């Protein structure tokens, strides 16, 4: 064995070099004997080299077990033959002139004897070869057994089990509980309570000296009898000079039966009397019935009764729901104010007592502040949100995030929306806090992005809608969110701002007969903002020589119009097609084919705006006198009509515009309570109509009338004051009005909503240019210098409004709290 060791290692070294080119896939047979014994002839060596050269097939089919078998065969043959044959070679050049390491090339043509010719006992086998073959056989048997077992074995999970697994993994999150307006008190067993009330009434009726009860409710009668008896006992005690002692007339169970009986009969005054009697008896009043009674007072908006009940019955700190109801009753009582002072005072007083109201209370106050539609209210809503996170609830819930994201769609400045702020809140809620949004949250962020008016954010709104519908499906493909009217209206808000009629038509088709009045109004606005790709002035003029066939063919009568026009796949290509589609949609409204669409003034205004944009002035005027049969026009109706006349085209349309604008102005002048900005636009539009028709002096007289009605002095305020809640000074006195500690809006960010109507140079620029032209041309009608005087007057008026506005701004910035 010691003599074979060097040869054994030499064989392994040469075999390792040979295996780098790839072993064969066979371990026995004639080829194996030839490979092991070698060949003395050049042809045999060449054939052996070609058979065992490295190839992809040999390397792909070779296995480690078979490679080890080849190694064992080679070592065994080398050990049995002595390993001294100089012609035994390995590698890709074996037998073709390549010489192995440390070996000479065999020049003899004598063939090597085969393995079978080596003298060994018959039937015997080398122990190494036998062991390797045994291991290879065991590996094959184990592999075959594993393959057969995997083919015959049934799957681990059935289809139903897999479906149940995926349903559990992809299940929709449970929605949060909806806030209830009133707390339901447990009413218990009515029969048992009735028996207790009957026994108590019989017992109290037998007491001498009791006053007769006047109520028809048994429980209330018991309360009246017990109150009379308790008053008599206290009178006796006070007459004897003794301090009053709490005497429990009933047990806690009996008091509960009386309260529940009053609740079933909706006798809240009787229930309140029972709780008062319970407190006089030295027992703790029941909290659930007390909260329900307070909810009834809050629904009735009775602050006096609410606080009287709270003061009379409460013996400890109010519960969370009771604090919420306390703020809400003050909020309902001061709904008409710009800032609900009493509600804010109660809210901050609870904070001072280290008993902050729940988040739904802050949400109610913020929603009420935004519903005032004033800049001060909106700014204070954002300040209250920041104050809440600092002083009460640092982690907002989904409802609070939804409210603030929706507030971004109507910012304090009133211009567009704050899409960036809304998206920051959305990311904070969904990514940082990992809160599951509701359908209202999706609608809020989509609306905030859509109202921005920028195409980037409008595309983001549609991407969010696609994610809302498709990215949250369960195992059966059912989406967790169902689009509603607010979702579609939010998407239409974005489509109409960029004139994307294709998306608006798709949304309208998706809604079908479920389209409502607001959604239909947005669709009409989209038709108004849509710019048809084909216009008449861009049409190519065809020479007259090529129009013969067209003229001859046009003599044939056109086909009859289809009474029910069909909508094509492509959007309208001309203004005429736009009007045709809108008329077809409007006819469906008149035929009540859309049951959820009702005729309103704003809907009619939207319908007219399409004709103002895509039809002629004469057609729009004719339609204006026909549509207002069931609804009345408002200030915006006359404003849009006047602005259409102010941009009349050259030619006879301007004379028609002057005639119609004069009729509209007479009716508009009789309107009252018109917003200041609407007043400015209407006066400027009528002035522009006069200027376009050459009546510059008439337009100048019109401006003088405006200045007389709305003088620049109206903009000046003698002394501006701000609400104490908007003060930014540090509160040192404890009795000062409570206000937010942290703010998100500066005083300069809050616009002034009470600015009277005024004029700027851009409003009277057209009149100024016409007066300058008349003065420079020295026309005969300007011999008295009326044009130059008009120019000077316009300069004075514009500067007067400008400086008055500056003074108003300075006064507002320097204003102090009352």
DSSP letters spanning 416-471 = S--HHHHHHHHHIIIIIS-PPP-HHHHHHHHHHHHTT--HHHHHHHHHHHHHHHHS
Structure tokens that stand for 238 in this block? 């006070």
Residues 716, 817, single domain; the answer is: yes
- Last residue in a domain, options 275, 301, 316: 316
Q: Cα(789)–Cα(809) distance, rounded to whole angstroms?
A: 30
The 3 state secondary structure assigned to 199-260 is HHHHHHHCCCCCCCCCCCCHHHHHHHHHHHHHHHHHHHHHHCCCCCCCCCCCCHHHHHHHHH
Say if 89 falls within a structural domain.
Answer: yes
The dihedral through the CA atoms of 368, 371, 374, 378 has a sign that is positive
Residues 47 and 128 in one domain: yes
Residue ending a domain, choose from 149, 176, 203: 149
CA 103 – CA 556 distance, rounded (Å)? 106
Is residue 448 one of the residues assigned to a domain? Answer: no
At 27 the pLDDT is: 41
CA angle 659, 664, 668 (to 5 degrees): 150
Q: CB–CB of 425/404 below 8 Å?
A: yes
- Give the total number of structural domains in the chain: 3
pLDDT < 70 regions, the chain: 1-125, 150-156, 170, 172-188, 207-213, 237, 239-245, 536-566, 718-725, 728-738, 778-784, 815-818
Give 87's DSSP letter. Answer: T
Q: Is 91 within 8 Å of 48 (Cβ atoms)?
A: no
Predicted confidence at residue 68, as pLDDT, reads: 45
Coil, strand, or helix at residue 816? strand
- Residue 209: left if φ>0, alpha if ψ -120 to 50, beta else—which one? left
Give which of 185, 186, 182, 187 is closest to 321, Cα–Cα: 182
pLDDT value of residue 406: 97
197 and 311 assigned to the same domain: yes
Structure tokens at 237: 């005690």
Residues 726 and 815 in one domain: yes
- For residue 170, give the nearest of 472, 467, 458 by alpha carbon: 472
* 3-class secondary structure, 134: helix
Per-residue model confidence (pLDDT) at position 289? 86
CA torsion 195-201-202-204 (nearest 10°) is 140
- What is the secondary structure of 360-408 as a DSSP string? HHHHHHHHHHHHT--HHHHHHHHHHHHHHHHHT-SS--HHHHHHHHHHH
Q: Give the C-alpha distances (Å, rounded to integers) separating 51 from 94, 109, 561, 586, 723.
A: 11, 21, 86, 87, 101
Tokens of 430: 């969904």
Euclidean distance between the first and the last CA atom of the chain, given in angstroms as a whole number: 114
Asked if residue 817 and residue 732 are part of one domain, the reply reads yes
The SS3 of residue 3 is coil
Which single residue is written with the structure tokens 């000077």?
A: 792
Check whether residue 276 and residue 212 sit in a common domain. yes
CA dist list (Å): 481 to 170, 461, 465: 14, 16, 10
Strand partners, 722: 817
Angle at 326 between CA 732 and CA 358, to 5 degrees: 80
CA distance readout (Å), 442 to 178, 378, 457, 654, 735: 17, 22, 15, 48, 43
For 763, other C-beta atoms within 10 Å of its C-beta total 21
Residues 205 and 108 in one domain: no
Task: Indicate the SS3 state at residue 740.
Answer: coil
Cα(619)–Cα(529) distance, integer angstroms? 19
Same domain, residue pair 73 and 137: yes
Q: Based on the number of CB atoms within 10 Å of its own CB, is 558 exposed (0-12), middle (13-18) or buried (19 or more)?
A: exposed
26 and 101 co-located in one domain: yes
| CB-based contact 418:407 (threshold 8 Å) | no
Q: What is the pTM of this model?
A: 0.74
Question: Does residue 815 fall inside a structural domain?
Answer: yes
Q: Is 649 helix (H, G, I), strand (E, B) or coil?
A: coil
Rounded to whole angstroms, the Cα distance separating 246 from 726 reads 49
Query: At how many degrees (to 10) do helices 419-427 and 398-408 cross?
Result: 160
Residues 32 and 98 in one domain: yes
- Residue 147 confidence (pLDDT): 77
Axis crossing angle, helix 287-299 with helix 303-313, rounded to the nearest 10: 170
103, 125, 149 — which closes off a domain?
149
The span from the CA of 131 to the CA of 123, in Å, is: 16
Q: Alpha-carbon torsion 120, 126, 127, 130, what sign?
A: negative
Residue bearing tokens 């009409």:
524
Q: Let me know if residue 192 belongs to a domain.
A: yes
Which of 265, 291, 286, 292 minimizes the C-alpha distance to 274? Answer: 286
Provide the domain limits for residue 122: 5-149
Own/partner long-range contacts of 656-660 (Cβ < 8 Å, ≥24 apart) = 656/617, 656/618, 656/621, 657/617, 657/689, 657/692, 657/693, 658/689, 658/690, 658/692, 658/693, 660/617, 660/621
Contact 381, 775 (CB under 8 A): no
420 within a domain of the structure (yes/no): no
> How far apart are alpha carbons 571 and 586 in whole angstroms?
17
The CA distance from 614 to 608, in Å, is 10
- Please tell me whether residues 725 and 776 are part of one structural domain: yes
User: Is-contact 228 210, C-beta < 8 A?
Assistant: yes
The answer to the question of residue 374 being in a domain is: no
Does the residue 575 lie in any domain? no
The rounded radius of gyration (Å) of the Cα atoms in the chain is 47
Q: Within this chain, do residues 19 and 142 fall inside the same structural domain, yes or no?
A: yes
- The answer to whether 86 touches 104, Cβ cutoff 8 Å, is yes
* Helix, strand or coil, per DSSP, at residue 772: helix
What backbone torsions phi and psi does residue 817 show, to the nearest 5 degrees? -70, 150
Residue 331 is assigned to a structural domain of this protein: no
């Amino acid at each position: 064995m010691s003599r074979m060791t060097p040869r054994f290692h030499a064989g392994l070294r040469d075999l390792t070099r040979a295996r780098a080119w790839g072993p064969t896939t066979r371990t026995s047979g004639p080829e194996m004997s030839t490979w092991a014994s070698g060949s003395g002839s050049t042809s045999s060596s060449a054939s052996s080299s070609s058979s065992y050269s490295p190839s992809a097939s040999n390397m792909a089919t070779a296995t480690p077990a078979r490679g080890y078998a080849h190694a064992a065969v080679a070592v065994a043959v080398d050990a049995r033959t002595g390993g001294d044959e100089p012609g035994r070679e390995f590698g890709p050049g074996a037998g073709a002139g390549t010489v192995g390491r440390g070996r000479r090339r065999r020049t003899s043509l004598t063939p090597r004897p085969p393995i079978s010719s080596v003298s060994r006992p018959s039937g015997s086998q080398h122990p190494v070869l036998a062991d390797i073959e045994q291991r290879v056989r065991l590996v094959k048997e184990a592999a075959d057994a594993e393959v057969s077992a995997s083919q015959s074995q049934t799957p681990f999970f059935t289809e139903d089990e897999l479906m149940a697994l995926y349903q559990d993994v992809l299940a929709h999150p449970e929605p949060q509980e909806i806030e209830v307006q009133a707390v339901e008190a447990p009413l218990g067993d009515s029969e048992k309570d009735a028996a207790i009330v009957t026994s108590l009434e019989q017992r109290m009726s037998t007491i001498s000296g009791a006053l007769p009860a006047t109520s028809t409710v048994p429980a209330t009668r018991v309360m009246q009898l017990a109150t009379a008896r308790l008053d008599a006992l206290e009178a006796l005690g006070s007459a004897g000079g003794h301090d009053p002692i709490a005497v429990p007339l009933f047990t806690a169970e009996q008091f509960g039966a009386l309260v529940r009986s009053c609740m079933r009969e909706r006798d809240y005054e009787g229930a309140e009397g029972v709780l008062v009697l319970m407190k006089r008896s030295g027992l703790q009043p029941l909290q659930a019935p007390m909260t329900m009674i307070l909810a009834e007072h809050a629904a009735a908006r009775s602050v006096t009764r609410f606080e009287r009940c709270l003061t009379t019955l409460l013996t400890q700190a109010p519960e969370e729901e009771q604090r919420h109801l306390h703020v809400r009753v003050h909020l309902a009582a001061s709904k008409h104010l710009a800032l609900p002072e009493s509600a804010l005072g109660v809210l901050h007083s609870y904070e001072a007592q280290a008993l902050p109201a729940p988040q739904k209370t802050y949400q109610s106050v913020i929603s009420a502040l935004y519903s005032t539609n004033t800049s001060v209210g909106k700014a204070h809503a954002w300040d209250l949100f920041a104050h809440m996170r600092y002083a009460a609830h640092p982690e907002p819930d989904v409802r609070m995030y939804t409210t603030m994201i929706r507030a971004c769609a109507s910012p304090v400045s009133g211009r567009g929306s704050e899409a960036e702020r809304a998206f920051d809140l959305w990311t904070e809620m969904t990514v940082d806090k990992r809160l599951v949004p509701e359908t209202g949250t999706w609608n809020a962020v989509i609306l905030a992005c859509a109202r921005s008016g920028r195409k980037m954010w409008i595309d983001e709104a549609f991407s969010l809608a696609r994610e809302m519908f498709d990215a949250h499906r369960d195992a059966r493909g059912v989406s967790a969110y169902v689009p509603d009217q607010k979702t579609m209206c939010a998407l239409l808000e974005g489509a109409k701002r960029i004139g994307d009629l294709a998306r608006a038509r798709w949304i309208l088709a998706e809604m079908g007969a479920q389209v409502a009045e607001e959604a239909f109004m947005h669709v009409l606005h989209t038709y108004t903002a849509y710019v048809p790709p084909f216009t008449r002035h861009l049409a190519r003029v065809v020479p007259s020589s090529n129009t013969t066939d067209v003229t001859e063919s046009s003599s044939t009568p056109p086909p009859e119009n289809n009474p029910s026009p069909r909508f094509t796949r492509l959007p309208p290509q001309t203004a005429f097609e736009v009007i045709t589609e809108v008329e077809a949609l409007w006819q469906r409204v008149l035929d009540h084919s859309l049951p959820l669409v009702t005729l309103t003034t704003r809907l009619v205004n939207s319908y007219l705006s399409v004709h103002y944009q895509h039809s002629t002035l004469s057609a729009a005027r004719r339609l204006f006198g026909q549509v207002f049969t069931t609804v009345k026009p408002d200030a915006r109706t006359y404003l849009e009509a006047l602005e259409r006349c102010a941009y009349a085209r050259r030619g006879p349309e301007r004379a028609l515009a002057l005639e119609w604008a004069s009729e509209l102005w007479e009716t508009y002048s009789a309107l009252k309570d018109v917003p200041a900005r609407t007043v400015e636009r209407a006066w400027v539009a009528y002035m522009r109509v006069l200027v376009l028709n050459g009546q510059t002096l008439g337009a100048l007289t019109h401006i003088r009338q405006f200045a007389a009605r709305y003088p620049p002095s109206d903009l000046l305020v003698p002394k501006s004051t701000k609400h104490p809640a908007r003060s930014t000074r540090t509160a040192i006195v404890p009795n000062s009005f409570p206000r937010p500690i942290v703010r998100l809006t500066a005083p300069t960010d809050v616009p002034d909503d009470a600015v009277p109507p005024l004029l700027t140079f851009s409003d009277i620029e057209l009149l100024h240019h016409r007066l300058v032209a008349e003065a420079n041309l020295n026309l005969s009608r300007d011999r008295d210098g009326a044009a130059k005087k008009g120019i000077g007057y316009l300069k004075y008026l514009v500067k007067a409004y400008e400086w008055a506005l500056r003074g108003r701004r300075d006064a507002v910035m320097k204003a102090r709290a009352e």
